[in-house]
Amino acid sequence: MQHIVRALGCFALVSSLAACVVSPSQQLAEPSRAPNPHEMAVHRLEQVDGRIDNMGRSIDARVNQGHFPPPDGAALHRRLDTIRHEAHDMAGQHGGGLTGDEQRVLNQELDTASAAINR
In 3-30, which positions are buried (b, 16+ CB within 10 angstroms) versus exposed (e)?
eeeeeeeeeeeeeeeeeeeeeeeeeeee
Which whole number is the average pLDDT over 55-81?
A: 97
DSSP-H helix ranges across 22-69: 37-64
Each residue of 99-119: pLDDT tens digit? 999 999 999 999 999 999 998
Indicate the average pLDDT of the chain: 85
pTM: 0.70
